[in-house]
Amino acid sequence: MALRKIRIDQVNSRDGFEQFARLPYQVYADRDAWWPPDVRNEIDLLAGRALITSHLDLCPFAAYSDGRLVARVSAVINYRYNQHWNEKLGQLVHFEALADEDDAVAALMEESLTWLKRRGMNAARSGFAAFLDYPYAIDNYGELPSFLLRGNPDFYHRYFKNARFATEKGQVDYTAPLTPEIQQRYRQMVEASQAAGAMIKSWRDYGYPAAIEAWTDITNAAFERHWGWNPVTHAEVRPMLLPLQQSAVADLSMIGIVGGQPVGAVFCVPDLSAQLAKLRSGFQLAPERGGGTRGALVNIGVIESARSRGLARAMAAHSFLLMARQQMRFAGYTLVIDDNWPSRRTAESLGGRVTGNFVTYRREL
């Protein structure tokens, strides 16, 4: 068999960015359901126009086999993350690849890792970076994952293991059925929190722009020592969340208040599969995977001084009750690090069960 001609390019042109951003349309072309990328936003990030790029050194790489684009990845140094954690950690984000392209992917990995090493990084991570990257699925292959999460092919794991990456962290995704019985439990959770002096308001009732500011401050404080997280700014969060002001996000997301001060926040979304997922004509999603019936709790945080009062559970319960009122039958609780036992206990108390498993990879350089 003739050897293929492998070429690795650094991507630095408008046409190159466009091809890079559209590779997932080839990877997932045969799927019944998948989340396509936001091509315009991805191009803005690659071209250095996104606000977050002021904290990054980013270089996209593309792998070609006999002249055909078959794999991609961006090597990233997040200076804000490294300063926060006092690390010299590089990131590999945007990874996608076609099947049976082991040689091209191996060359792509080595080129991108060499780029990081030359810039003083001593380790590389792929599969977790705030606002940039999400972990790799290790089950439910071919099914639509929860909103924002990967539905990667199973062969991605072979590519990473062949490139000498090891599993660094596991994560789980929970799903809770919104049955009448569990809704009654939710009401009791909310009432108990109110009796203890907490107040829970939707972002719409709190004032949506003010809720975005509160969410940013609370999340930065609550996640300060959370593995993989780094602080984010009001300036970069506002343009992401303000466009959702007139959507159900404003009703499902919550602010928890104690003593007149915002101390807890939840960001939730309705089922967005009809609007954002790419579905094969005639294909019907299972209710617990989407199909207009599964909302999702994407982020939840309570500042340390206000913990152990049941506020996180009550905020989630309040949101889930509103999902049920909007005719949703399931609620997702996404995404929880395997060893984040307080958050896992909260998910389980809400009736959640693990319905998806994910991993993040790391390689020492």
Task: Encode pLDDT of 325-343 as tens digits.
Answer: 999 999 999 999 999 999 9
0.85 surpassed by pTM: yes
pLDDT value of position 283: 93
Asked if residue 298 has pLDDT above 60, the reply is: yes
As a whole number, the mean pLDDT across the chain is: 96
Asked if residue 1 has pLDDT above 50, the reply is: no
Task: Encode pLDDT of 35-70 as tens digits.
Answer: 999 999 999 999 999 989 999 999 999 999 999 999
Confidence of residue 3 (pLDDT cuts 50, 70, 90): confident
Among 134-138, 263-267, 304-308, the range scoring the smallest mean pLDDT is 304-308
| Separation of alpha carbons 229 and 108, rounded Å | 26
Confidence of residue 294 (pLDDT cuts 50, 70, 90): very high
Strand ranges inside the chain, DSSP E: 6-10, 33-34, 56-65, 68-78, 89-97, 123-126, 136-137, 166-177, 198-202, 254-258, 261-269, 278-279, 294-302, 330-337, 353-364
| DSSP-assigned letter for residue 138 | S
Mean pLDDT of 206-223: 98
Where are the alpha helices (H) located in 132-202, listed in sequence order?
156-162, 180-195
DSSP assignment of 241-273 equals HGGGTTSTHHHH-EEEEETTEEEEEEEEE---H
Mean pLDDT of 156-179: 98
Q: Is 304 exposed, middle or buried (0-12, 13-18, 19+ CB in 10 A)?
A: exposed
Mean pLDDT of 295-301: 96
| Separation of alpha carbons 195 and 47, rounded Å | 51
Task: Encode pLDDT of 98-113 as tens digits.
Answer: 999 999 999 999 999 9
User: Which residue, among 245, 236, 317, 247, has the nearest Cα to 276 in the 3D structure?
Assistant: 247
Asked if residue 134 has pLDDT above 50, the reply is: yes
Asked if residue 346 has pLDDT above 50, the reply is: yes
Give the pairing of strands 294-302 and 89-97. unpaired
Distances (CA, A) of 237 to 13, 130, 146: 27, 12, 21
Domains of the chain, first to last: 6-133 (3.40.630.30), 174-358 (3.40.630.30)
Helix, strand and coil percent figures for the chain, each rounded to 5: 40, 30, 35
Confidence of residue 308 (pLDDT cuts 50, 70, 90): confident
Confidence of residue 2 (pLDDT cuts 50, 70, 90): low
| Residue 331 backbone phi and psi in degrees, to 5 | -130, 130
Mean pLDDT of 149-175: 97
| DSSP-assigned letter for residue 131 | T
Asked if residue 301 has pLDDT above 90, the reply is: yes
Mean pLDDT of 166-179: 98
Distances (CA, A) of 221 to 230, 232, 266, 303, 344: 10, 11, 14, 6, 20
Which residue is associated with the tokens 């140094």?
Answer: 77
Confidence of residue 95 (pLDDT cuts 50, 70, 90): very high
Asked if residue 25 has pLDDT above 80, the reply is: yes
